């Protein structure tokens, strides 16, 4: 089967590898139909590894890496919830989705509604993650919220937070995301670095969602700006396992810091499918760039360098 592997920082090469073996118990084999590029994939594309010796680090240079948001057709199954021919969306468990076939955990994919193209359905995976995170925040009715980073994940957070009753939503990004942010439900979009905005902010939101990750600076900015007794959800992926956080300020403000990974994935994918049915505007406004697998390097570089009107970058598989 065909696949692409990282041959060096920012450089993919096409390769041929054996087709996957029959799935083990609980697994499914998918013929990949589309893949979404996540912010957590981008540092790996540039050659980074993680300090903990994680699965993703061990996968560097392996066929299909790094891509975990996928849609696909089930071609073999050892999971009771999936049948051959099902069209599913979810996680490539080994982040090896830039390939003709992937073997993944059947509990990490779910069937999606007929009528959705694979390039649209792939958005259900990040939407499931956002719905899970927002679900941990409790009742948001009447609360002021700030979303730090208005990339594809930040836009989904803005949309979901609006639907969950947030009173006022401010989005902050170093790219001018004014038009996109307002369309997805923000009341105000600030074109600024987060540290500059936090230094000058007048409004202190009760909830801050940090969608940038990678460094402690933006988390400390969130701590600085969150109202007393407020809460922060740290969604962004960290590059270093240990980081310096202003714990004294967080304590003195009685803040709650939340973070984590998405659990109950099949259930959350089903909730995302239902949410998309209720909000069909996401079907046309979120995925803005669809490229073919042969353009995989271009797709990653586009995700690395977003324009003001750019949403999700998706790769269509042959």
Stated pTM of the model: 0.96
Residue 102 φ/ψ, nearest 5 degrees: -135, 150
pLDDT tier, 47 (very low <50, low <70, confident <90, very high otherwise): confident
On the question of pLDDT at 51 being above 70, the answer is no
CATH number for 2-123+286-316 (one of 3.40.630.30, 3.90.180.10, 2.160.10.10, 3.20.20.100): it is 3.90.180.10
Mean pLDDT of the region 275-303: 97
pLDDT tops 80 at residue 186: yes
Q: Compute CA distances 257 → 46, 53, 222, 314, whole Å.
A: 30, 25, 10, 32
Short-list 129, 100, 158, CA closest to 40: 129
Domain edges within the chain: 2-123+286-316, 127-258
pLDDT in tens, 106-137: 999 999 999 999 999 999 999 999 999 999 99
Q: Are 119 and 278 in contact (CB under 8 A)?
A: no
Instruction: Give the start-end residues of each E strand in 127-183.
Output: 144-148, 168-173
Residue 237: what pLDDT? 80
CA dist 19 and 75 (Å) reads: 12
How sure is the predictor about 100, in pLDDT bands with cuts at 50, 70 and 90? very high
Say what the pLDDT of residue 111 is: 98
Asked if the 127-258 domain carries CATH number 3.30.390.30, the reply is: no
CA distance 285 to 186: 15
In eight-state DSSP terms, residue 294 is: G
What dihedral angle (degrees, nearest 10) is formed by the CA atoms of 158, 309, 216, 211?
30
């Amino acid at each position: 089967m065909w696949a692409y592997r990282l041959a060096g920082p920012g450089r993919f090469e096409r390769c041929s590898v054996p087709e996957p073996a029959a799935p083990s118990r609980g697994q499914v084999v998918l013929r990949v139909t589309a893949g979404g590029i996540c912010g957590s994939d981008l540092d790996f594309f540039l050659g980074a590894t993680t300090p903990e010796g994680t699965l993703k680090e061990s996968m560097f240079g392996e066929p299909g890496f790094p891509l975990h948001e996928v849609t696909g057709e089930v071609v073999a199954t050892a999971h009771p919830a999936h049948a051959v021919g099902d069209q599913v969306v979810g996680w490539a468990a080994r982040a090896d989705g830039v390939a003709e076939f992937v073997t993944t955990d059947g509990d990490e994919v779910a069937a999606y509604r007929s009528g959705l193209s694979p390039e649209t359905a792939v958005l259900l995976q990040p939407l499931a993650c956002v719905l899970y995170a927002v679900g941990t925040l409790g009742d948001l009715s009447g609360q002021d919220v700030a979303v730090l980073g208005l990339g594809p994940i930040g836009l989904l957070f803005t949309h979901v937070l609006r639907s969950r009753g947030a009173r006022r939503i401010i989005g902050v990004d170093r790219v001018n995301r004014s038009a996109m942010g307002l369309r997805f439900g923000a009341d105000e979009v600030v074109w600024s670095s987060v540290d500059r905005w936090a230094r000058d902010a007048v409004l202190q939101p009760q909830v801050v969602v940090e969608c940038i990750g990678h460094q402690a600076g933006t988390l400390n900015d969130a701590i600085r700006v969150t109202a007393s007794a407020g809460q922060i959800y740290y969604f962004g992926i960290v590059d270093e396992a240990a980081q310096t956080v202003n714990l004294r300020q967080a304590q003195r403000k009685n803040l709650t810091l939340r973070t984590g990974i998405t659990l109950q994935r099949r259930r959350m994918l089903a909730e995302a499918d239902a949410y998309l049915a209720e909000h069909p505007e996401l079907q046309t406004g979120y995925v803005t760039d669809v490229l073919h697998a042969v353009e995989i390097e271009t797709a990653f570089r586009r995700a690395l360098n977003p324009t003001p009107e750019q949403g999700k970058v998706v790769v269509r598989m042959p």
